[in-house]
Amino acid sequence: MLIGVPAETKPAESRVGLTPAAVESLVHEGHRVRVQVGAGLSSGFPDGLYERAGATLVPSAAEAWAADLVVKVKEPQPAEYQYFRPGLTLAAYLHLAAVPALALALLERRVDAFGYETVQTPEGKLPLLAPMSEIGGRMAAQVVAHYLEKPSGGIGMLLGGAPGVPPARVLIVGVGVVGFEAARVALGMGAQVTVSDRNLDRLREVEHLLSGRFATLASNPGNLRAAVAESDAVIGAVLIPGARAPRVVTEAMVASMRPGSVVVDVAIDQGGCIETSRPTTHEAPTYLVHGVVHYCVTNMPGAVPHTATVALSNATLPYIAAIANQGLRAAAAANPTLRGGVNILDGRVVHPAVASALNLEEPAGVATSAATEAQRADGQGRAERVAARSAG
Q: Is the dihedral of CA 310, 314, 319, 323 positive or negative?
A: positive
Q: What residue type is assigned to position 310 of the chain? A: V
Cβ atoms of residues 72 and 8 within 8 Å: yes
Q: Are residues 99 and 195 in the same domain?
A: no
- Which of 303, 326, 351 marks a domain boundary? 303
Q: Are residues 157 and 212 in the same domain?
A: yes
**Catalytic one of 95, 146, 294, 351:** 95
d(CA 281, CA 82): 24
Check residue 240 and give its pLDDT. Answer: 79
Model confidence pLDDT, tens digit, residues 43-97: 999 999 999 999 999 999 999 999 999 999 999 999 999 999 999 999 999 999 8
Check residue 12 and give its pLDDT. Answer: 86
**Catalytic one of 146, 269, 294, 351:** 269
**Average pLDDT estimate for 367-389:** 42
Q: Are residues 209 and 63 in the same domain?
A: no
Q: Are residues 348 and 374 in the same domain?
A: yes
d(CA 321, CA 370): 22
Examine the pLDDT at 163 and tell me if it is beyond 60.
yes
Q: Are residues 164 and 116 in the same domain?
A: no
Model confidence pLDDT, tens digit, residues 110-149: 999 999 999 999 888 899 999 999 999 999 999 999 999 9
- Which of 249, 280, 303 marks a domain boundary? 303
Q: Are residues 96 and 14 in the same domain?
A: yes
This prediction's pTM: 0.82
Check residue 373 and give its pLDDT. Answer: 45
Model confidence pLDDT, tens digit, residues 229-288: 999 999 999 987 777 889 999 999 999 999 999 999 999 988 999 999 999 999 999 999
Q: Are residues 316 and 282 in the same domain?
A: no
If DSSP states are collapsed to H, E and C, what string results for 108-150? Answer: HCCCEEEEHHHCCCCCCCCCCCHHHHHHHHHHHHHHHHHHCCH
Q: Are residues 275 and 367 in the same domain?
A: no
Check residue 167 and give its pLDDT. Answer: 97
Q: What residue type is assigned to position 56 of the chain? A: T
H helical segments located in the chain: 20-28, 47-52, 61-65, 100-108, 130-147, 177-188, 200-209, 221-230, 251-255, 305-326, 328-334, 336-339, 352-357, 370-390
- Which of 281, 303, 325 marks a domain boundary? 303
d(CA 245, CA 365): 27
Check residue 366 and give its pLDDT. Answer: 35
**Residue closest to 177 by CA, chosen among 392, 390, 384, 338:** 390
**Average pLDDT estimate for 163-190:** 96
Q: How far apart are the first and last CA of the chain?
A: 42
> The domain that contains 97 carries what CATH number?
3.40.50.720
Check residue 377 and give its pLDDT. Answer: 44
Check residue 361 and give its pLDDT. Answer: 61
Using DSSP, state whether 106 is helix, strand or coil: helix
d(CA 308, CA 285): 19
- Residue 63's domain spans which residues? 2-127+304-390
d(CA 176, CA 178): 6
d(CA 314, CA 42): 18
Q: Are residues 181 and 298 in the same domain?
A: yes
Cβ atoms of residues 293 and 153 within 8 Å: yes
Examine the pLDDT at 209 and tell me if it is beyond 80.
yes
d(CA 56, CA 32): 8
Q: Are residues 81 and 107 in the same domain?
A: yes
Whether 95 sits among the annotated catalytic residues: the reply is: yes
Q: What separation in angstroms does the CA of 363 have from each of 118, 120, 353, 381?
A: 18, 21, 12, 18
Examine the pLDDT at 379 and tell me if it is beyond 50.
no
Model confidence pLDDT, tens digit, residues 329-357: 999 999 999 999 999 999 999 999 899 88
Model confidence pLDDT, tens digit, residues 282-322: 999 999 999 999 999 999 999 999 999 999 999 999 999 99
Check residue 244 and give its pLDDT. Answer: 84
DSSP string covering 26-87: HHHTT-EEEEETTTTGGGT--HHHHHHTTPEEESSHHHHHSSSEEE-SSPPPGGGGGG--TT
Q: Are residues 260 and 360 in the same domain?
A: no
d(CA 249, CA 251): 7
Q: Are residues 52 and 192 in the same domain?
A: no
Count of domains for the chain: 2
